[in-house]
Amino acid sequence: MKRHSVLVIDDSLTIRGIIESVLEKDGAWELIGPASDIEHARTLIRERRPDVITLDLAMPGTGGLAFLDELNGSDHPPVVVVSSSTRADSSESEEAKRKGAFACFDKARLVAEAPKLMRVLHKAADQARRAA
């Protein structure tokens, strides 16, 4: 079975480690590289073409919402926002979805709801595969 590739964009080493651990346990994912800032993420997206991107909104320099604006209208992988500001029904979640995010996930629930995150990421990858 072909593994899905994912790019994790988050400035927190701890959060990147948690997401990477969850991805490894699932077994269906290849991490193409973590990115601690949007500049590095742009390079990895261009060079490695991930199937799915996870994105924190609170990033140094270019923030996650501005990056979603940048991606809007271009051919890009589905983006799952993983942020502490995207709790259920938050205004940030709604704004991220309006800007093209596939889904939003509350960063505080990463460990407790890891299977739910995996389901969301698989749905995003499946959608990308069907669109290709």
What is the rounded average pLDDT of the residues 104-115? Answer: 94
**Band of the pLDDT at 127, cuts 50, 70, 90?**
confident
Burial of 110 (0-12, 13-18, 19+ CB in 10 A): middle
Strands of the sheet with 52-55, listed across from one edge: 29-35, 4-9, 52-55, 79-83, 103-106
- State the sign of the Cα–Cα–Cα–Cα dihedral 66, 117, 123, 104: negative
Contact 7, 54 (CB under 8 A): yes
Full set of structural domains in the chain with CATH: 4-60+76-125 (3.40.50.2300)
Per residue in 30-63, pLDDT tens?
999 899 999 999 999 999 999 999 999 999 999 9
Asked if pLDDT for residue 132 goes beyond 70, the answer is no
> What pLDDT sits at residue 128?
80
Distance, in Å, from the CA atom of 24 to the CA atom of 58, rounded to the nearest integer, reads 25
Per residue in 72-95, pLDDT tens?
888 899 999 999 887 777 899 999
Asked if pLDDT for residue 1 goes beyond 70, the answer is no
